[in-house]
Amino acid sequence: MALRLVTLFSVLMTVFLMSCGPKVTENVLAKYDGGQVTKSEFEEYYIKNSGNIEQAKKDSLPKLKSFLDLYVNYKLKLEDAKVKGYPSNKDLIQELNDYKKKVGVSFLLEKELVLPGIKNLYERRKVELRAAHIMLRPDSTGDEACRIKANKILDSIKLGKATFEDMAMKYSIDVYSKNVGGDIFYITAGMLPYEFEDACYATEPGNVYPNVVKTKFGYHIIKVTEKQERIPQIRASHILVDFYDGKGNVDSAAAKAKIDTVKMLLAQGKPFEDLARQYSKDPGSKDNGGDLNFFERRMMVKEFDEAAFKLKKGEVSDIIKTNYGYHIIKLTDVRKTAPFEEQKEELKKMFKQSRYQDTYDNYVKTLATKYNYKVNQETLNLMLKNSDSVRIADENPKAILYKDKELMSLNGKSITAGTVLEDLKDMSEFASRFIVFDAMKSGMDKLSGDLLLQEEAANLDKSDNEFASLMEDYRNGIYIFKLQEDEIWSQIKVDSAKLLPLYETTKQNYVWPDRVNYQEIYSSNDSLANRYYSMYQNGTNFDTLAVKYTERPGLKEKAGVYNLVEVSSNQMADIAFKLKNNGDVSAPFKAGSGTAFVKLLSKEPSRIKTFDEARAEVAGLYQENESKRLEQSYNQKLKDKYSPEIFYQNLEQVFKTK
């Protein structure tokens, strides 16, 4: 009875003390001198490591506990870095700023240019257009005259004085489309110059774009005739009956009669695939029942393409005539638009090939205005005047007249002509160019673009949460690395007095396998190798033959000698090791794409390595052991210093919403 009373008293006291102790909400998973780990913070970092929230929700409690232990230890180290003054360390600040410039520019371009660009491209590619154009190209009368002519043609179409199709026939220089009213068939985003594409997507079907469009090919007047949901790919089979008879003569009447027969047999229920194997003249598909696999728009001839993409899955076309003959087509499958993430890399390639440079140039122009970028024309003129026939990378005695003068400025920062020239010298595309206006303008555009982007990136962590998180992770990584360096790696001193005892207790782990010294004669020609072997058998010295005939790259001058090769590493070493006595020579054997024979020089059976031979491995083991010991010691110091408390019971609430 007394024992029960004592036990009950103990339980009651425990409950009392717990109720009187400091309250810890379920949102706090750990606390330490200097900070705490909240549920939301833990969840954020756990998801970063596990990949996604779906996976995180599935993970077991022991796995969460293990990660919490690691994360608390990580937080203690960051607290220690703060106490040690790392945030004000000039070297670490410089490293962080250098990283911010380098990564910030890439991040900026990806987020502000590439990602919006490829998302727009992805959405546009869900739609296909059928367009027509009238194309003019400047001639001897010049660019402006061509533009004026194009606008007059456009005006006549707008006013109803002429049809688009007639004007295409009369004026377009595109020989492939002019005779069909300028029709260029179906297109989608990423296929044509972006100026042309933008005009098409801004025009409703049946309308002519209101302005003349200029591309690298010339001037265009554009009409959109159709706009519809795009089918990215279809799979079809076909039966082709060409126009030729068995003697190679054209007989279109016989071909038409045969394709009519095929059509009739299909109507009677004969399998399409069987008829394709029997009648089709397409050698690439007939044995597969006419299957052409998946294809996109414009991969087939126009008549075939147009008919195939109008079919529904399982449907069979009427007879289609192309330059190749008569076809009957069956649509067997349709691919829908793939998710954005699956197309992301391909979209990036399209974007960078088609419109990235212009998007970049326009973005840099906005930054030039934002940061008040200016070129000092007076300094530029002075430089050009005093740099006759001087290359950017050359030493110019007259440079003293301008090198210290401001050539560019942005955001209140002055950049001298000398600094600009030094930077351009490091760029291979500019170093050998003469200091003339065009070269300097191109070079300054390149430099100013880089500087403006760096300027924008410098404060990106203050305006972009994603980049701020990236910078925080990198800063923490720098701190952890320096802590490891200061507390662990720099403390490890390796010398023989420490390594030798470790070697003695672990030397059974450092073993040379069977090794062999051998000599080889190799030829890619089997008969030649056998001939060399006969010469050896008839008394010709092996060394002489090896120096003169072996064909292994770099082995002639070594007389085909291989020193201490592990027996298991290659066929030649294995064969040589199996020879009985030093000086024995093997028979010729197949070696890769040629033939070889080898001579045994000496064998070295497996043995334990000496201390000197194993020194590097022992040193590695010693450093690994010391790192673990010092890491454990440092972790214990952190616990003693910051007194962490971990509330494992609160892990039950992680990844659960109320």
Q: What is the pLDDT of residues 605-625, one digit of tens each?
A: 999 999 999 999 999 999 999
In this structure, what DSSP letter does residue 311 have?
P
Q: What percent of the chain has pLDDT over 90?
A: 90
What pLDDT is recorded for position 181?
A: 96
Q: Which two tokens mark 224?
A: 């959109």
- The mean-pLDDT minimum among 17-31, 327-341, 389-403 falls in 17-31
| Residue at 484: amino acid letter | Q
Q: Is the pLDDT of residue 10 over 50?
A: no
Instruction: Report helix angle 465-487 to 61-83, nearest 10.
Output: 80
Q: Please tell me the distance from the alpha carbon of residue 640 to that of residue 634, in angstroms, as a whole number.
A: 10
Domains of the chain listed by start with CATH number: 2-80 (no CATH), 127-229 (3.10.50.40), 233-335 (3.10.50.40), 511-608 (3.10.50.40)
Chain-centre distance for alpha carbon 62: 36
Per-residue pLDDT band for 459 (boundaries 50, 70, 90) equals confident
Mean confidence (pLDDT) of the chain: 93
Q: What Cα–Cα distance (Å) separates residue 53 from each residue in 72, 255, 349, 577?
A: 21, 63, 30, 57
What pLDDT is recorded for position 55?
A: 87
What pLDDT is recorded for position 46?
A: 93
Q: Which residue in the block uniquely carries the two structure tokens 């703060």?
A: 82
Q: What is the pLDDT of residues 211-269, one digit of tens each?
A: 999 999 999 999 999 999 999 999 999 999 999 987 888 999 999 999 999 999 999 99
Q: What angle do CA 591, 594, 596 make, to 5 degrees?
A: 55
What CA dihedral angle connects 565, 566, 571 and 575, to 10 degrees?
A: 80
Per-residue pLDDT band for 210 (boundaries 50, 70, 90) equals very high
Per-residue pLDDT band for 657 (boundaries 50, 70, 90) equals low
What CA dihedral angle connects 522, 524, 525 and 528, to 10 degrees?
A: -20
Q: What is the pLDDT of residues 479-524, one digit of tens each?
A: 999 999 999 999 999 988 999 999 999 999 999 999 999 999 999 9
What pLDDT is recorded for position 260?
A: 97
What pLDDT is recorded for position 565?
A: 96
Pairing status of strand 127-136 against strand 35-38:
unpaired
Identify whether the C-beta of residue 64 lies closer than 8 Å to the C-beta of residue 654.
Answer: yes
Identify whether the C-beta of residue 212 lies closer than 8 Å to the C-beta of residue 219.
Answer: yes
Q: What angle do CA 55, 59, 64 make, to 5 degrees?
A: 120
Question: What's the rounded mean pLDDT across residues 416-437?
Answer: 95
Q: What is the pLDDT of residues 277-292, one digit of tens each?
A: 999 999 999 999 999 9
Find residue 452's DSSP bridge partners.
Answer: none
Q: What is the pLDDT of residues 295-324, one digit of tens each?
A: 999 999 999 999 999 999 999 999 999 999
Per-residue pLDDT band for 53 (boundaries 50, 70, 90) equals confident
Question: What's the rounded mean pLDDT across residues 22-37?
Answer: 82
Q: Is the pLDDT of residue 658 over 90?
A: no
B/e letters for 355-384, b = 16+ CB within 10 Å, e = fewer, are bbeebbeebbeebbeebebebbeebbebbe
What pLDDT is recorded for position 11?
A: 33
Question: What's the rounded mean pLDDT across residues 179-195?
Answer: 96
Q: Please tell me the distance from the alpha carbon of residue 290 to that of residue 430, in angstroms, as a whole number.
A: 56
Question: What's the rounded mean pLDDT across residues 92-96?
Answer: 94
What pLDDT is recorded for position 25?
A: 65
Q: Is the pLDDT of residue 137 over 70?
A: yes
Q: Is the pLDDT of residue 349 over 70?
A: yes
Q: Is the dihedral of CA 198, 203, 204, 206 positive or negative?
A: negative
Q: Which two tokens mark 603?
A: 């064998």
Per-residue pLDDT band for 50 (boundaries 50, 70, 90) equals confident
Q: What is the pLDDT of residues 536-578, one digit of tens each?
A: 999 999 999 999 999 999 999 999 999 999 999 999 999 999 9
Max CA separation in the chain (angstroms): 118
7 vs 195: which has the higher pLDDT: 195
What pLDDT is recorded for position 18?
A: 34
